[in-house]
A and B are shown apart, each in its own frame.
Chain A
Amino acid sequence: MMKLSSPFMEIVPLVTTFGPAVISSFFHIGKRWQDFVLGLLGVLFLFFAVIFFTDEFSDSAFVYSLFDVRYNKISVFIGLLYCGSLFTGLYPVRRTINLSPEFLFYVAGGLGIILANNLPTFLLFWTFQRAIPMRAFLKEGTGGTYVFQHLMTFICFLLLMFFAGKEGLLLVPMTEMPASFFTWPVLLLTFVIVYEAHGIFPFHSWVHDVVGRLPWYEFSAIFLTRAGILLFVQLLLPTLKFDPDIFQILLLSLSIFSSLYWSLRGILEENFAKKTTYLYIAQASLLLTGMQANLTAAKGSYLHMMVISVAGTSLFSILGYVNHSFGLKRRSQFYGMATYYPKLATLFCLFGFCVIGVPLGASHVVEDVVITGLLEYWPYLGLGHIFATALNGILFFLIFTKIFLGPSPYHETHGNFDMTLGEMLPYLLAFLLLLMIGLMPSLFLGRITW
C-alpha cells in the first residue's frame, strides 16, 4: 500500500496549483501551457484518488497553527470531485477556451478552502477566492449585492473567530469544536456563513451578479469547492444532534425552499446559460437537506454531490462547446443544435437524466436514499424535496428542448459538428461512472463511511 504519511503532503495540491497560477499571471498562457495545467488537474485527481482509496490520511504538520491544512475523508472526497469534475469538463473543450490566470487562482483558492482545517485558514482561502471577482466588481462599480453580501459574511466570519478565540478554540480543528461552543449567536453566524457560501435562500442574491458574468468553468471552480458543505460537515454536523430542533427545521426547510426557488427562477428565465446555472444551483441546494437528516440521507447526499459535480460540469462543458461554435445569440425559441451535434445532444440528455433522477442514472438512487432518510424525522419536508425534484426535472427538459431541439435558426449552416469518439471520451467515462452508480450503487455507498 502506498504510504503518504509525510507531514508536508498536505501542501502538495496547493503548491501544484498556486505555482502555475503565479507563473500565468506574469507570462502569457499558450495552448500548450493550458494543456499542461489541465494535465496537472488530472494528476491531482489521481493523487486524491490514491489517498481516498487507500485511506492514508496523514497527520498535519501545521496542526494548531494559523495555517492548518489537512486531509480527512470529506476534504479528500471533495478534492477528488473538484479535480475530477474540472478535468472532465475542461479537457474535451480545451481547444475552445482560454484559461485566464484568474481561473488558476480560483482553482488554487478552491483547493485551499477544501483542505482548510481551522477557521483562520478557511477564512484566508475563502477571502482569497471570493476577492478575485470582487476586484473586478469594484473596478467597474457593478455587482453591488455580491460585494455587500460577501462583506457581511466576512464580518460574520470575524465574529465567529472572535467567539472561538474567546473560548480558546481559534486554532482548534473545526471537527473538534465542542458542542458547548455552539450557542445561539454562534449557530446563527455559522448559518449565515454556510448558507451564503452555498448560495442558499435568503443569502443567495450574490449568485445573480456572478451568473452570466463569469465563464462556466470559473463559476464551477467557485461552486465545486462546496465551501458551505465543508463548513457544515466539519463545523456543525458533529454536534448537530445537540442543537435545537427549530434550528434544524430552519436549515432543512430553507435548503428545500432554495431548491424550489432556483428551479422556478430557471423556469422563468429566458437565457439558457443562466437556466443551466440555476438548475445546477437548485440541485446543489438539495445537498444540505440530506446532510442534516440522518446517516442514511447523508450518504445519499455525498453520492448526490458526486453526481452533480460530474454531471453538472459536463453539462456546462457541452453547452460551452456548442455555444463556442455557434455563438447562440440570435433570439430564438429553439436553437435545434441536435441537428449539428447529435451525439453531444444525446450525452447532454443523458447527463441531465442522471441529475434529475431518471431511473438507471445515479440521481435516482440518491433521491430514494435522501427522501427515505428525510422521512424518518421530517415527513412533510420530504414531500417538499419531492416537489423540488419534480420542478428540477421540468427545468432540465426546458433547457434541453431550447438548446438542442426544435427548428434551428441557423439555416445557412449544414453538417455534423460532433466531437469525435476520442474527444468525448472523458464525457463517456463520466457517464459510465454515473450509470454504474445508478446500476450498482452498493459499490459506491459502501465506500462512504464516516
Chain B
Amino acid sequence: MANSFFTLLIFTPLLWMGLLAGVYFTRIKLSEQHLSNALRFYSLYMVTLALGLAVLTFLHRPSFLLIDFADWFAVGDYQFKLRFIVDLLGATYALLATALVGVIFRFSRNYLHREAGYFRFVFLLSTLLFGLIVVSFSRSIDLLFIGWELVGTTSVLLISYFYDKSQPVVHATKAIISYRLCDMGILAGAAWAHHYLHTTDFVIIPTLLDHGHGGAGLVFIGLFITWASLAKAGQLPMCSWLPAAMEGPTPSSAIFYGALSVHLGPFLLLRFYDYFAHFPVLLVLVGLIGGLSAVYATLVGRTRSDAKTMLAYATISQVGLIYIEIALGFTGFALFHMVTHASLRTYQFLRSSSLIQDFYENPVVEHNRTIHRRFSFERFFSPAVRQRVYVHALHGFHLDYFTGRLIAGFLYPMRVYLQWEARWLEFDTRLLKLLLRKK
C-alpha cells in the first residue's frame, strides 16, 4: 500500500506540471477560478497521499521502505538508479511540504487575485513541490540533486516574480550565484563518493563506513555536503542573499525562506547524519557554522526595521540553532524543530503584510501603546560596546564587502589577463595593417 501511495505521490506532480505546461503553450484559456478549483483538489489529493504515507511509515518505524524503479539510464558500467527511501524523515518532510504548499495555494488565491503572473506562480510552486518530494525520498546524492536543483531554480524565478522591476532581478541574480556556488558541493560530494566508495546511496554509505571502507579522503564528502547545505539554509558565509530574496510575492517568501527551501540545508545534514556520525570533526564544523550564523543573524536582525527582513534574519538564526542540534546529535529534536519552525514562519510571513492592521485590531493591545522588549541581552554590555556592535550589525558585519573583495580577488588574474589579451589583439591588428600597408 505504501508503495502505491509513494508512486502516486511522486508521479502526480510530474503529470500536473506537464498539464500546466501544455495549457501555457497552447491556446487553451484557463480562468483563474477554474485553476483555483483544480488547485484545491490537487492540494487535497497530495496532502492525503503524503499523510497516508507518513502514517504508514510512523506505524512501522524504525524500519523503512526501499523502493526501486527501473534504471533511469545506463551507460557502460554506470547505471543511474531511481531508488527511493521512505522513512520517517522523508515522510515527515513530504507531509510538511504538501500541507504548506496547499496552504500557500489557498492563500494566494486571494493574495494574487487578478495578478498577471498567477499562472506562472502556480507552475513554479508545483515544480517546487515536485522538487521537494524528490529530495525527501531520494536514496542517493545523484537523485537528490535533481530535486535540489529544481527547488533552487524555482526559488530564483519566484524572487524575480515582479520581473519588470530592477531590484527583484538583482536579488534573484544574487540568489542564483549563491545557489550555484553551493550546489557545486552536492555534485562534488557525489563525485567524491563515486570515486572513493563507488556509490552515493545513503543506505549503503554508512554500512561501508562501518566496515572500514575508504580512507582519509572520505571526510571531503562531508565537507562538500556541508558546503552545499549553506546556501539553501542561509548560513554563514552564504546568508546575505536570503534577506534580499524577500522581493518575491509574500506567499513565495513564506514557503521558500520561512518554511521549506530554507530547511533543506538541515534536511540534507539529517539525511547524511549516519555518515556525519563517523566524522566528529564535521559535526563540530556544522555546530560552529550554526552557532556563528545564529549569533550573526540575531544581531543583524535586531537592527532591521521592516517585518519581512526581520523574519528572514530570525529564520537564519533558528536554522542555525537546528544546525547546532544536529551537531549535538539531537536529530529527532532537530526534525521536530524544523516542522514547528516552518509552520510558525509560514504563518508569520503570510501575516506580515497585514501586521499593522493585526496590531490595531488586536483587542489585547491598547491603542497608542509602545511595546518594549521584556528581556534584552544588550544590557549586559557597556554602552560603548553596544554602540559599536550596533553599527557593525547595521552594516551586516560588512559581509557583502568581504565577499565582494573575495570575488574581486578571484577575478583579478582574469582581469589582468584580459588587459594583456586586448593588447595582444591590438598588436596583431597593427602588425597586419603594417604588412598590408594600410593606415
Contact = CB atoms under 8 A, between A and B. Distances in A.
A382 B191 CA distance: 8
Interface stretch (A39-47, A85-93, A241-249, A368-376): A368-376
Interface in B149-179: 149-150, 153, 156-157, 160, 163-166, 169, 172-173, 176-177
Contacts of B406: none
B415 A300 contact: no
Interface stretch (A50-58, A64-72, A143-151): A143-151
A441 interface: yes
Contacts of B181: 390
Interface stretch (B23-31, B32-40, B48-56, B377-385): B23-31
A391 to B, nearest CB: 8
Given A209-B425, A296-B77, A368 B25 contact: no
A419 to B, nearest CB: 12
B361 interface: no
A254 to B, nearest CB: 15
B80 interface: yes
A421 interface: yes
Contacts of A295: 75-76
Interface in B178-213: 180-181, 183-184, 187-188, 191-192, 194-195
Contacts of A159: none
Interface in A411-440: 421, 428
A305 to B, nearest CB: 15
Interface stretch (A5-13, A95-103, A192-200, A334-342): A334-342
Given A264-B414, A394-B180, A421-B27, A386 B188 contact: yes
Contacts of A147: 428, 432
Determine the interface band of chain A, counting residues with CB < 8 A from chain B.
Answer: 35 or more
A168 interface: no
Main secondary structure of the interface of B (DSSP, over half): helix
B24 A346 contact: yes
Interface stretch (A308-316, A322-330, A357-365): A357-365
Contact of B429 (A144, A264, A265, A445): A144
Contacts of A299: 75-76
A138 interface: yes
A261 B438 CA distance: 33
Nearest to A145: B428
Contacts of A264: 411, 414
B172 A141 contact: no
A239 interface: no
Contacts of B429: 141-145
A333 interface: yes
B75 A406 contact: no
B428 to A, nearest CB: 3
Main secondary structure of the interface of A (DSSP, over half): helix
A358 B180 contact: no
Interface string B415-429: 100100100110111
B75 A405 contact: no
A387 interface: yes
Contacts of B187: 367, 371, 386, 389
A334 B169 contact: yes
B165 A364 contact: no
Nearest to A142: B429
A209 B427 CA distance: 13
A211 to B, nearest CB: 12
21 contacts: A138-B432, A138-B436, A141-B438, A142-B432, A144-B430, A261-B414, A264-B414, A268-B411, A268-B414, A295-B76, A296-B77, A358-B149, A359-B145, A359-B150, A368-B80, A383-B191, A397-B173, A398-B173, A401-B173, A406-B163, A406-B164
Interface of B: 24-27, 71-78, 80, 142, 145-147, 149-150, 153, 156-157, 160, 163-166, 169, 172-173, 176-177, 180-181, 183-184, 187-188, 191-192, 194-195, 411, 414-415, 418, 421, 424-425, 427-433, 436, 438
Interface of A: 137-138, 141-145, 147-148, 205, 208-209, 261, 264-265, 268, 294-296, 299-300, 333-334, 336, 338-339, 343, 346, 349, 353, 357-360, 364-365, 367-369, 371-373, 375, 379, 382-383, 386-387, 389-391, 393-394, 397-398, 401, 404-408, 421, 428, 441-442, 445
Given A144-B432, A334-B166, 12 more contacts: A148-B431, A334-B169, A336-B164, A372-B78, A379-B192, A390-B181, A390-B184, A394-B177, A397-B176, A398-B173, A405-B163, A407-B165
The 10 A-B residue pairs with the shortest CB-CB distance in the complex, in nearest-first order: A144-B428, A144-B432, A141-B438, A144-B429, A359-B146, A441-B73, A145-B428, A405-B163, A141-B433, A296-B76
